[in-house]
Amino acid sequence: MKPMVMLPLAILLAGAYGVFLIARLLQGGQRRAADSQITDLELMAQHHQVIALLTTGVGLLAGVWLVPLWRAAIGSGPLAWGSAGPFGVRLRADPLGLFMAALAVGLGSLVTLYSARYMSRDGGLEYYYPLLLLMMGGMVGIALAADLFNLYLFCELMSISSYALVAFRKERGLPVEAGFKYLVMGGVGSAMVLLGISLVYRATGQLDLVAIEAASNPIAWLSVPFFIVGFGIKAALVPLHTWLPDAHGEAPSGISAMLSGVVIQSGFYALLRVLLALGFPGEKFGLLLVAFALLGMTVGNLMALVQTKLKRMLAYSSVAQVGYILLGLGMGMHFGAVSAVLGGLFHLLTHAAMKGLSFLCAGVIAFETGLMELEEMEGVGYALPLVGAAFGLAVLGLAGLPPLAGFMSKWLIFKGGMETRSPLGYVCNAMLLANSLLSLGYYLPALGVLFSRSNPRQRQELSRWLAAPILVLAALVLILGLYPRPGLALALPAQAFVFEMLR
Amino acid sequence: MAAIVITFGPAEKKMSLNNHLLLAILTFPILISLILPLLRGKWAGYVGGIAALTAGLAFLMSLALIPALCRGGFIAFSRPWIPSLGIGFALRVDWLGLLFLLNLTGVTTLSLVYAWGYMRHRENLAAFYALMLAFMYGMAGAVLAADMLLFYIFWEVMLLGSCALIALWGDGPRAQSVALKYFIFTHIGSLLLLMSILCLFTRTGESDIYALRALLGEVDVGLLKVLFLLLTIGFGVKMAIFPLHTWLPDAHSIAPMPVTVMLAAAMLSMGLYGMMRFLPAFPAPVMEFFSLPLLVAGVLSQFYGGMMALAEKEAKRIIAYSSVSQMGYALFGMATLAELGMRGSVLHIVNHGIVKALLFLCVGVVMHATGRRLVAQLGGLAGRMPLTALCCGVGALAIAGAPPFCGFHSEWMIFAGGFATPHTLLAVLATIAPALTAGYALWFVARVFFGPSPQSLSVKDDTPRSMLAPMVLLSILALAAGLYPAPLYALAERAIASLGMGG
């Protein structure tokens, strides 16, 4: 029997409504029973962990459903599912899409677990968890969408829920400002994408990605700039990245982890799917990505060097890290270098783990000590040794030091550059190394501040709810660095599929 | 099941024990270093003892490899690691590797014992000892690795471990900036290594270091020269060859003494190990092309290090610059490409390990007893600390190459190798350098232990025996190795023979 392609998506979307209803019911029941003096926040706190666990459960359930899909997609090729008619929901599960979906669901589940404690001082949690589930649903939808209509729809679902989540702490000014900026820029991006889709439809009369590829009408290429700008905003390609540092810096840390780890990558994934479906030649597309990559790495790292807020620094580092992913895929598509594509895809995975981990650590620091400015964090590593050590693993991994996960993905990209045997490949490699070195220029001092001895702090207890997701991700960063086979087993079929699409 | 019984015949079983010994030398310290930070309560007091025992056991396990090596060949251990990329978890040891392995595990054991007393008033000792072990297994792993990627991973673990030790336990407020400088400098060297390693890997398709030799004949000589240069620079930074030495004086003087001992007596030699392991794989014309520049670099280091040691005012920095000079000897010996010179070079690694550890331990005892590190503020200590004065005198004579101490044996071999080359002038210069060494070493002893004692100098008599014992042991070794050098001669001869360069 074929596994149902729409089930993970259905679980996430139904789960969002279910969690909202349950949260409301619990709240209502409590309100009737409790003294009228009690505030919403206190009411919520009592059920918070239940709701968080419920949400994690929904995420994991969706994740478990991806496994049979993955097996089937590897075994017998992409699986399709869909309702009839031009505007029905049509999904297709292939290795690349399932890879993205697994990342989104995996990181999302950890973030919900983390939020159980991290968000315990915030109100309105009956909105927070459903929004997070909708965001995950949007990403899974993008990953599995079979036509442009659904791609756009799920892209909007992801974007709109993330606008709301960025501005979730609406009682403060900065998050709202950041969310509004993200909303305006993201909205322009969506409009661009819609325009592009209309052009494609005008040229080919098709919306299905496979059908568009079959129609291969060069007039449809007119839409390419619109897609690049539209999805480029979502993917924060330099110079369209200006919303990112604000949004990532001001969002609740769990949401920052999601944005940096999977949301912007989903935007890039959408761009990749659409442009390849349009029959845009991989060689030119690769060159374009390489150009964006070199720009992104350099700008991201240079901007990260001058940041004073930890989370903004991490945000700019994401701009740079997405550059490495683009570089791998770009060199791979331009030159046909297999290792580079594999490295780029593997870096998607390792970066999600490492950047997720570093944002979660930054969140714990803010939660336990209230500090946001880097220079005030002196000695925090001694107060919260687990967080300090995990943050160290994360940033050293991001800088590409062995034996951590980031090294494994970066050396694959580097090896791909060597395989090209062309001057451009060597230049890219030199830029990659120079940027890795440059990034050490802010990662190491940040670690140095955390473990500075100038301000002795008392050791603090760390809640298990916060420690668990951090431990999981830290273990992942270490294990993928020492034993990358499980990660490569996910990335290899996806890499094969990328080359299949190129043909 | 029957098949398995047959494959493990008696002879096979013996082999497999040795092979697993190889694995145990690495995994045992790794396990202990993970356990140490978790120890609580009563056990937390024993972390230093456990760490020293672990390192001592690694030393004994390395010794236990000798009988098997005497039976011929090498000992190897191999498991698939990342099969999809053709990379194995391959360990291998021959006589060359064994020499370095004995050197580094022995030095680590003694400096860990020394640390019991030297570090006892410091904080976070469990983490300190765990990182010391990480530093050690980083070095041991680099020596044992047969796979280039594995080699690089351990090479960087060594850097991470040592850098964290300097940053977290270094003396004074400059510790972090010195650690950053150390990291960036040596990491640039490592990146050059990575570049050439991956280029070798992509060109030959082989990631086994030991198999390179047969494959490099087919690679373009121009490219090989570039790779040779990159490797030499990469290893030269670690070895602190002039002009790549600038990280060394700072790092050695800021690091806590046990770490300094490991840096100077064990880690610098790793640079020579890398050269010895990689460079002879290159075709003879390439090696001969670089012989002269390397000889010149060796002589320059000898003189530069010696003169800086004469000019320095701080005790630790004097001994630190002496390392630059001594590594110049070792490089000179290797660059002669003559059998005798290369033997002298590896023998010098052992002797330098003994002597440099001895000198630093003496300086540490003086610093512990007086609390001072400037030579001008010391003097006349021979009466108060006769044992330390004696040991330091032995160390100074040995490093100057005076018979009957151990330094003499390696130095004459190196110079004899120098006269076997056509560059007689350089050989003459190299032979003059020990005069400079004698100058700074004996003058150092004279200024610290003899002459008038400053009025304000107070000497504490509470130096623990655990600090004195390694010092005495090393001075006995320095004399014994000088009086009865036959075992070391045999070891050096076999080490060079195992490179298989004859012809």
Spatial separation of the C-alpha atoms in residues A3 and B204, rounded to whole Å: 44
- Tell me the chain A residues in contact with residue B152 when contact means C-beta distances shorter than 8 Å: 402
CA B275 and chain centroid, separation: 13
**Cα dihedral: B20, B22, B25, B30 (round 10):** -70
Half-sphere exposure of B445 (CA within 13 A, CB side): 23
Min mean pLDDT across A69-83, A485-499, B180-194, B295-309 is at A69-83
A496 touching chain B per CB within 8 A: no
pLDDT value, residue A31: 63
DSSP state of B120: T
A484 touching chain B per CB within 8 A: yes
**A152 CA: distance to closest CA in chain B (Å):** 36
Strand, coil or helix: B200:
helix
Half-sphere exposure of A417 (CA within 13 A, CB side): 28
pLDDT value, residue B11: 41
- State the Rg of chain A over Cα: 22
Averaged pLDDT, A154-179: 93
Q: Which of A401, A429, A448 sits opposite B167 (nearest CB)?
A: A448
Averaged pLDDT, B229-236: 95
Q: Which of B153, B180, B188 sits opposite A402 (nearest CB)?
A: B153
Whether A56 contacts A117, CB under 8 Å: no
Query: How many CB atoms lie under 10 A from the CB of residue B306?
Result: 25
Q: What is the pLDDT of residues B333-346, one digit of tens each?
A: 999 988 899 999 99
pLDDT value, residue A394: 96
B9 — pLDDT class (breaks 50, 70, 90): very low
- Tell me the chain A residues in contact with residue B176 when contact means C-beta distances shorter than 8 Å: 445, 448, 452
Q: Does residue B502 register a pLDDT over 70?
A: no
Cross-chain residue pair A339–B199, CB shorter than 8 Å: no
Q: Which of B173, B180, B191 sits opposite A444 (nearest CB)?
A: B180
Q: Which of B82, B124, B202 sits opposite A485 (nearest CB)?
A: B82
pLDDT value, residue B78: 87
- Tell me the chain A residues in contact with residue B122 when contact means C-beta distances shorter than 8 Å: none
Query: How many CB atoms lie under 10 A from the CB of residue A462?
Result: 18
Q: What is the pLDDT of residues B146-203, one digit of tens each?
A: 999 999 999 999 999 999 999 999 888 888 999 999 999 999 999 999 999 999 998 8
Nearest chain B alpha carbon to A430: B195
Cross-chain residue pair A407–B153, CB shorter than 8 Å: yes
pLDDT value, residue B41: 80
- Percent of chain A scored above 90 by pLDDT? 70
Q: What is the pLDDT of residues A269-294, one digit of tens each?
A: 999 999 988 888 888 999 999 999 99
- Tell me the chain B residues in contact with residue A492 when contact means C-beta distances shorter than 8 Å: 84
Nearest chain A alpha carbon to B201: A415
**A484 CA: distance to closest CA in chain B (Å):** 7
- Tell me the chain A residues in contact with residue B185 when contact means C-beta distances shorter than 8 Å: none
Q: Does residue B4 register a pLDDT over 60?
A: no
Q: Which of B82, B176, B198 sits opposite A484 (nearest CB)?
A: B82
A34 — pLDDT class (breaks 50, 70, 90): low
pLDDT value, residue A165: 95
Whether A112 contacts A59, CB under 8 Å: yes
Residue in B418, B200, B437 with CA at minimum distance from that of residue B294: B418
Contacts of B348 (CB under 8 A, 6+ apart): B326, B329, B330, B333, B407, B410, B411, B414
Spatial separation of the C-alpha atoms in residues B448 and B381, rounded to whole Å: 6
In a mutagenesis test of the B interface, which of A331, A414, A420, A495 is the best target, namely the one with the most B β-carbons within 10 Å?
A: A414
Helix spans in A205-281 (H): 209-215, 224-235, 243-250, 253-258, 264-277
- Tell me the chain A residues in contact with residue B201 when contact means C-beta distances shorter than 8 Å: 415, 418
Cross-chain residue pair A440–B156, CB shorter than 8 Å: no
pLDDT value, residue A440: 92
pTM assigned to the model? 0.92
A420 touching chain B per CB within 8 A: no
A114 touching chain B per CB within 8 A: no
**B149 CA: distance to closest CA in chain A (Å):** 9
Spatial separation of the C-alpha atoms in residues B353 and B351, rounded to whole Å: 5
- Environment class of residue A456 by beta-carbon count within 10 Å: exposed (0-12), middle (13-18) or buried (19+)? exposed
A459 touching chain B per CB within 8 A: no
- Tell me the chain A residues in contact with residue B153 when contact means C-beta distances shorter than 8 Å: 402-403, 407
B42 — pLDDT class (breaks 50, 70, 90): confident
* H-run or E-run covering A195: helix A173-204
pLDDT value, residue A40: 59
Q: Which of B124, B184, B191 sits opposite A433 (nearest CB)?
A: B191
pLDDT value, residue A41: 59
Q: What is the pLDDT of residues A11-22, one digit of tens each?
A: 999 999 999 999
Q: Which of A403, A440, A441 sits opposite B157 (nearest CB)?
A: A403
Interface of B with A (CB under 8 A): 81-85, 124, 149, 152-153, 156-157, 160, 167-168, 173, 176, 179-180, 183-184, 187-188, 191, 194-195, 198-199, 201-202
**A114 CA: distance to closest CA in chain B (Å):** 24
A446 touching chain B per CB within 8 A: no
Cross-chain residue pair A440–B183, CB shorter than 8 Å: yes
Contacts of B470 (CB under 8 A, 6+ apart): B110, B111, B113, B114, B357, B361
Residue in B109, B123, B254, B274 with CA at minimum distance from that of residue B181: B254
- Tell me the chain B residues in contact with residue A412 when contact means C-beta distances shorter than 8 Å: 85
Nearest chain A alpha carbon to B203: A419
In a mutagenesis test of the B interface, which of A444, A471, A483, A492 is the best target, namely the one with the most B β-carbons within 10 Å?
A: A444
Q: What is the mean pLDDT of chain B?
A: 89
Residue type, B215: L
**B357 CA: distance to closest CA in chain A (Å):** 28
Q: What is the pLDDT of residues B66-113, one digit of tens each?
A: 988 888 778 888 888 888 888 889 999 999 999 999 999 999 999 999
The pair of structure tokens assigned to B241 is 């060859």
The pair of structure tokens assigned to A152 is 């756009």
Cross-chain residue pair A492–B152, CB shorter than 8 Å: no
Nearest chain B alpha carbon to A450: B168
Q: Which residues of B143-157 are buried (b: 16+ CB within 10 A; e: fewer)?
A: bbbbbbbbbbbbbbb
The pair of structure tokens assigned to A38 is 């009690």
Strand partners of residue A208: A147
Q: Does residue B327 register a pLDDT over 50?
A: yes
- Percent of chain B scored above 70 by pLDDT? 96
Q: Does residue B213 register a pLDDT over 50?
A: yes
Regarding an ipTM greater than 0.95, the answer is no
- Tell me the chain A residues in contact with residue B194 when contact means C-beta distances shorter than 8 Å: 411, 414, 433
Q: Which residue has the tokens 């490099």?
A: B216
pLDDT value, residue A42: 62
pLDDT value, residue A241: 93
Cross-chain residue pair A418–B198, CB shorter than 8 Å: yes
pLDDT value, residue B12: 42
- Tell me the chain B residues in contact with residue A415 when contact means C-beta distances shorter than 8 Å: 198, 201-202
Q: What is the pLDDT of residues B297-322, one digit of tens each?
A: 999 999 999 999 999 999 999 999 99
Contacts of B338 (CB under 8 A, 6+ apart): B416, B417, B420, B421
A401 touching chain B per CB within 8 A: yes
In a mutagenesis test of the A interface, which of B38, B84, B148 is the best target, namely the one with the most A β-carbons within 10 Å?
A: B84
Q: Does residue A498 register a pLDDT over 50?
A: yes
pLDDT value, residue A439: 93
Q: What is the mean pLDDT of chain A?
A: 90
Spatial separation of the C-alpha atoms in residues A123 and A171, rounded to whole Å: 10
pLDDT value, residue A192: 95
- Tell me the chain B residues in contact with residue A453 when contact means C-beta distances shorter than 8 Å: 168
- Environment class of residue B469 by beta-carbon count within 10 Å: exposed (0-12), middle (13-18) or buried (19+)? middle
- Tell me the chain A residues in contact with residue B124 when contact means C-beta distances shorter than 8 Å: 382
Averaged pLDDT, A469-484: 94
Q: Which of B157, B176, B198 sits opposite A452 (nearest CB)?
A: B176
